[in-house]
Amino acid sequence: MVHRVVALAVPPQSPFEMASVAQVFGVEHPDAPARYAFTVCAETPGPVEVMAGCPLFVEHGLEAMDEADTVIVTGWPDHAARPSGGLVEGLRAAHARGARVVGLCSGAFALAGAGLLDGRAATTHWRMADELAALYPKVDVRQDELYVDHGDVATSAGTGAAVDLALALVRRDFGAAHAAEIARHMVLPPHRDGGQRQYSRLAPEPEHPAEETLAKIVEWAEANLHRPITVADMAAQGAVSARTLARLFERGFGVAPGRWLLRRRIETARTMLERTDATVDAVASACGFADPSNFRRRFAAETGTTPGRYRRVFSTSGWRG
């Protein structure tokens, strides 16, 4: 089953945001089956000015959105400009028939202008967050978050967060293992959760001791997810107090250490359910859950489904039990 993605180019187009979604959805990756069809459209087909480099030549107009499963607005350079009537109609029609509508970075302004973010949480680049909130007071602007995904509507912060959201959408569509293969091909680190901060509030020096301590703790925890780990264990690995550990994770990831650990365990479980024939109980044990029933509850709370159902949808191992 092919998922059709249409990206809207808006002059002057940011080359990075467009390239980010093209790389995730439009490029064939050696270890991942082709599951997306990628198209670029513009309100006025033809040469589209970009912020750097040569113009982007776009063949398709807004009618390309009519058959899309996902529509992505890859930027909205003039933040104060309201989308044209034709674009608003196209975005609303796509959303009404069930297509997912996404705004990358300043693209959130276009979604807000179309009324798709009224009464909902959204994010954008941290430098633009106050402006978005002022222009569209009905939008609950989350300044710190990398991306906000409601399922039918999603927004991301700037630049690199476009890739984070794109991979999160792949995980939603085709599972964690498929997204991991794309990320590995793109030479990217493990995915960043949408609630993670847009930037670290640690001191800016690249060799800051606090950053080194956090990296050490994370590396140890990643290697020991199969074991019972407490917050006290993590603090001991960094030779810091529990209070300092909490500050490090809040500044670095925007979440408490225990919350970060749970998410990493669940992500590992998702990959095991997709890629192995291990029983659900065995997956729970391998991911550090001593009680299988607790694992099932936690997994459902994080993913919205049971481990068994998740496996039936996303398994690539041939296991359907």
Tell me what percent of the residues of the chain surpass a pLDDT of 70.
92
- What residue ranges define each of the domains in the chain, with the CATH number in brackets? 3-185 (3.40.50.880), 204-321 (1.10.10.60)
Q: Are 48 and 60 in contact (CB under 8 A)?
A: no
pLDDT band at 193 (very low <50, low <70, confident <90, very high): low
- Cβ contacts of 247 within 8 Å, gap of 6 or more: none
Q: Which pLDDT belongs to residue 144?
A: 83
Distances (CA, A) of 205 to 126, 151, 202: 21, 37, 8
pLDDT higher than 60, residue 195: no
Q: Which pLDDT belongs to residue 137?
A: 97
pLDDT higher than 60, residue 201: no
Q: Which of 22-31, 107-116, 130-139, 277-286 has the lowest mean pLDDT?
A: 22-31
**Mean pLDDT of the 39-65 span:** 96
**Mean pLDDT of the 81-110 span:** 98
pLDDT higher than 90, residue 140: yes
Distances (CA, A) of 301 to 86, 262, 297: 40, 11, 6
CA torsion, points 135, 141, 147, 153, in degrees to nearest 10?
A: -70
Q: Which pLDDT belongs to residue 204?
A: 39
In this predicted model, what pLDDT tens digit does every residue of 203-234 receive, in sequence order? 334 445 788 899 999 999 999 999 999 999 99
Q: Which pLDDT belongs to residue 306?
A: 94
Which residue, 159, 100, 88, 170, is CA-closest to 124?
159
**Mean pLDDT of the 96-124 span:** 98
- The encoded tokens of residue 82 equal 């309201």
b or e along 105-115 (b: 16 or more beta carbons within 10 Å of the residue's beta carbon)?
bbbbbbbbbbb
Q: Return mean pLDDT, the chain.
A: 90
* SS3 at position 58: strand
Distance between CA atoms of 178 and 167, rounded to whole angstroms?
Answer: 9
Looking at per-residue confidence, does 116 or 303 come out higher? Answer: 116
Q: Which pLDDT belongs to residue 189?
A: 61
Q: Which of 108-117, 183-192, 223-232, 267-276 has the lowest mean pLDDT?
A: 183-192
- Cβ contacts of 194 within 8 Å, gap of 6 or more: 145, 146, 147, 148, 149, 164, 165, 168
pTM of the full structure: 0.77
Q: Judging by DSSP bridges, how do beta strands 46-48 and 56-58 pair with one another?
A: antiparallel
- The encoded tokens of residue 182 equal 């794309």
